[in-house]
C-alpha cells in the first residue's frame, strides 16, 4: 500500500479554483484504488473565520475520511513562507502521523515554500512532487507574469525587470528571492506541469528539464454522456464560466459587448457564471459592477448580458445547455483552462485568448476559435463571426476531441510517483 499525501491550496468546496479542483479530482480517483491510500490536506486563510478554533492548526474537514484543513496563520506573502512555529510543528507532527510515501504539493501558497524543505527533513525517503499551476516561483506579481506598467505579457524574470514592476524593492531583493526559491525547490524529486509551454518557462528560469514532466489535467465527464441537443437555429448565445478577477479577462468580454452594441449588433446573449469578484482589483471591480448594474436596468428586450452568479460542477449541465459557445478571455498565461475541458464535455466550442494553455490546447478553426489576447476588438470580431458564419458552429463541434479523463490524469501521476517515464497525454 502506497500512502500519498496531497497538499492543496484551499478546498474546492470552500473556494472554487482550478488548482484545488484538480487536486480534489486526483484525490477522489486515488481513493478508488486498492493499492493507494490518499490523504488530502487543504489550506485555508483567516478569512474563513468560522473554521478557526482556538489552539487548532490542522483539523478534519466536514467529517470526511482522509480530508483535513490546514488553518494557515501568520503567512508571509512577500517571501511565501511560513512564520508560525506552531504551524510548522503541527505540520511536522501530521507528517510523522501519516508517514506518506509520496508528498504531492499542488501548491505551496498558504503553507510556505519552506515546508518543502521541512518535508524533506522529516521524511528523508519520501518522494516529493510539486505541480506548478502558475509561475509564482518565478514571478512575484501573483505568478501571472504580467508587467505591472501596462499589463503586457512577460516572458522572463530578472532583478531589473522585476524591480520595474515593484520599484519599492531593490533589484537585490529579487536576486535573493531567486536563490530563496531555488534552494527550497532543490529538495523536490519531480515537478509536473499541466501544459507543455510551461516547461520552457521553468527551464529558462533555471530548473533541470529532466525533473519536469507534463501531466495533463483530467476530470470526470460531468455531462455523463448526456449532451443536450439544442434545437436553436441561431448560435448566438455565449457563456463565461470562471472567476470575476482581472486576469480571467471578464472585462475584455464586457468591452467587446459594448463595441458590438455600438456597431448595432445586438442579436446575441452573454451569460456570466462565476464569483469571487472581491478578489478583483478596485478598478476592475468598479468597471464590472458598473456594467452589470447598468445592464440590469435596461428593458428586458434590450438586455444582452445576464449575470447568473456562482455555480458548482453539478450545475454545469443546466448552464451549458443555455449557451452555444464558451468564452475564455484570459489576459495572462492561462495555465490550462479547466473550463475548456468542461465546455468540450458538453460539445460547446470555445472562443479563447491565443496564449498559454488555451493557445496550446485549441486548434484554431478546428475545435474552437482564438482571438488576440486582451484585445476587445479582436474578441468582438470573433464573436460576430461565430454567430453569423453559416455552418461554423457544427464544424467546430465535429472537431472537438473529448477532454482527458480523471483516470488518465491519475495514471500520469502514478507514473511520476513511481518514477516511471510518462507517456504523452492524449
For the chain, what percentages of helix, strand and coil (3-state, to nearest 5) are there? 40, 20, 45
Are residue 190 and residue 255 in the same domain, yes or no? no
Q: How many helices (H) and strands (E) does the chain have?
A: 14, 16
Say what the pLDDT of residue 366 is.
97
Cell of 42: 487543504
Cell of 210: 529532466
Are residue 16 and residue 44 in the same domain, yes or no? yes
Are residue 257 and residue 174 in the same domain, yes or no? no
pTM, whole model, 2 decimals?
0.92
In-domain check, residue 230: no
Cβ atoms of 102 and 131 closer than 8 Å = no
> How far is 184 from 192, CA to CA, in rounded Å?
16
Are residue 37 and residue 149 in the same domain, yes or no? yes
In-domain check, residue 228: no
Cα 121 to chain center, whole Å? 30
In-domain check, residue 424: no
The number of residues making up the chain comes to 426
Say what the pLDDT of residue 53 is.
87
- Which CATH number fits the domain that encloses residue 350? 3.40.50.2000
Cα 212 to chain center, whole Å? 19
Are residue 244 and residue 334 in the same domain, yes or no? yes
In-domain check, residue 185: yes
In-domain check, residue 247: yes
In-domain check, residue 277: yes
Say what the pLDDT of residue 231 is.
66
Are residue 247 and residue 201 in the same domain, yes or no? no
Boundaries of domain holding 293: 237-399
Are residue 156 and residue 198 in the same domain, yes or no? yes
Instruction: Give the count of alpha carbons within 13 A of 120, CB side only.
Output: 14
Are residue 94 and residue 204 in the same domain, yes or no? yes
Each of the 426 residues of the chain gets a pLDDT tens digit; together they read 999 999 999 999 998 888 999 999 999 999 999 999 999 999 999 999 999 988 899 999 999 999 999 999 999 999 999 999 999 999 999 999 999 999 999 999 999 999 999 999 999 999 999 999 999 999 999 999 999 888 899 999 999 999 999 999 999 999 999 999 999 999 999 999 999 999 999 999 999 999 999 999 999 999 877 776 566 778 999 999 999 999 999 999 999 999 999 999 999 999 999 988 988 999 999 999 999 999 999 999 999 999 999 998 889 999 999 999 999 999 999 999 999 999 999 999 999 999 999 999 999 999 999 999 999 999 999 999 999 999 999 999 999 999 999 999 999 999 999 986 444 433
C-alpha to C-alpha distances, 38 to 110, 133, 312, 347, nearest whole angstrom: 21, 21, 24, 33
> How far is 185 from 417, CA to CA, in rounded Å?
17
> How far is 320 from 230, CA to CA, in rounded Å?
10
Are residue 59 and residue 105 in the same domain, yes or no? yes
In-domain check, residue 150: yes
Are residue 211 and residue 246 in the same domain, yes or no? no
Cβ atoms of 301 and 212 closer than 8 Å = no
Cβ atoms of 396 and 368 closer than 8 Å = yes
**What residues contact 368, with CB distance under 8 A and at least 6 apart?**
340, 349, 350, 351, 352, 362, 396
Cβ atoms of 346 and 227 closer than 8 Å = yes
Measured from the Cβ of residue 373, the count of other Cβ atoms closer than 10 Å reads 24
Cβ atoms of 103 and 119 closer than 8 Å = yes
In-domain check, residue 226: no
Picking from 326, 224, 236, the residue whose alpha carbon sits closest to that of residue 274 is 326
Cα 52 to chain center, whole Å? 26
| Sheet of 350-353, strands arranged across | 305-309, 269-273, 237-241, 325-328, 350-353, 368-371
Are residue 267 and residue 352 in the same domain, yes or no? yes
Say what the pLDDT of residue 424 is.
43
Are residue 38 and residue 108 in the same domain, yes or no? yes
**What residues contact 310, with CB distance under 8 A and at least 6 apart?**
16, 273, 274, 275
Name the domain count of the chain.
2
Q: What are phi and psi of 241, to 5 degrees?
A: -125, 120
- Which DSSP letter does residue 90 get? H
Amino acid at each position: 500500500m502506497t500512502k500519498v499525501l496531497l497538499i492543496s491550496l484551499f478546498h474546492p468546496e470552500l473556494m472554487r479554483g482550478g488548482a484545488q479542483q484538480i487536486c480534489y479530482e486526483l484525490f477522489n480517483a486515488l481513493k478508488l484504488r486498492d493499492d493507494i491510500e490518499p490523504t488530502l490536506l487543504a489550506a485555508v486563510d483567516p478569512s474563513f473565520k468560522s473554521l478557526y478554533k482556538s489552539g487548532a492548526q490542522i483539523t478534519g474537514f466536514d467529517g470526511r475520511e482522509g480530508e483535513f484543513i490546514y488553518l494557515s496563520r501568520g503567512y508571509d506573502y512577500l517571501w511565501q513562507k511560513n512564520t508560525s512555529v506552531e504551524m510548522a510543528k503541527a505540520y511536522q507532527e501530521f507528517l510523522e502521523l501519516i508517514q506518506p510515501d509520496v508528498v504531492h504539493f499542488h501548491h505551496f501558497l498558504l503553507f510556505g515554500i519552506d515546508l518543502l524543505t521541512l518535508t524533506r527533513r522529516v521524511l528523508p525517503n519520501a518522494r516529493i512532487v510539486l505541480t506548478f499551476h502558475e509561475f509564482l516561483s518565478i514571478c512575484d506579481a501573483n505568478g501571472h507574469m504580467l508587467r505591472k506598467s501596462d499589463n503586457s505579457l512577460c516572458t522572463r524574470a530578472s532583478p531589473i525587470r522585476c524591480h520595474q514592476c515593484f520599484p519599492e524593492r531593490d533589484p537585490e531583493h529579487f536576486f535573493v528571492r531567486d536563490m530563496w526559491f531555488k534552494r527550497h525547490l532543490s529538495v523536490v524529486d519531480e515537478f509536473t506541469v499541466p501544459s507543455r509551454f510551461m516547461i520552457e518557462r521553468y527551464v529558462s528560469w533555471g530548473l533541470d528539464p529532466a525533473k519536469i514532466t507534463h501531466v495533463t489535467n483530467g476530470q470526470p465527464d460531468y455531462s455523463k454522456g448526456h449532451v443536450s441537443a439544442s434545437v436553436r437555429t441561431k448560435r448566438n448565445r455565449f457563456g463565461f464560466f470562471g472567476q470575476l478577477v482581472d486576469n480571467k479577462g471578464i472585462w475584455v468580454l464586457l468591452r467587446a459587448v459594448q463595441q458590438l452594441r455600438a456597431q448595432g449588433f445586438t442579436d446575441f446573449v452573454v451569460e456570466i457564471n462565476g464569483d469571487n469578484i472581491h478578489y478583483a482589483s478596485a478598478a476592475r471591480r468598479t468597471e464590472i459592477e458598473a456594467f452589470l448594474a447598468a445592464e440590469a436596468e435596461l428593458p428586458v428586450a434590450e438586455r444582452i448580458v445576464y449575470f447568473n452568479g456562482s455555480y458548482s460542477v453539478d450545475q454545469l449541465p443546466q448552464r451549458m445547455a443555455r449557451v452555444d459557445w464558451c468564452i475564455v478571455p484570459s489576459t495572462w498565461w492561462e495555465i490550462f483552462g479547466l473550463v475548456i475541458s468542461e465546455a468540450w464535455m458538453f460539445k460547446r466550442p470555445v472562443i479563447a485568448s491565443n496564449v498559454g494553455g488555451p493557445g496550446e490546447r485549441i486548434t484554431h478553426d478546428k475545435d474552437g476559435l482564438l482571438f488576440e489576447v486582451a484585445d476587445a476588438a479582436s474578441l468582438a470580431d470573433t464573436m460576430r463571426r461565430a454567430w453569423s458564419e453559416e455552418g461554423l458552429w457544427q464544424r467546430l463541434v465535429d472537431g472537438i476531441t473529448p477532454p482527458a479523463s480523471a483516470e488518465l490524469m491519475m495514471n500520469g501521476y502514478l507514473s511520476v510517483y513511481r518514477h516511471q517515464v510518462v507517456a504523452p497525454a492524449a
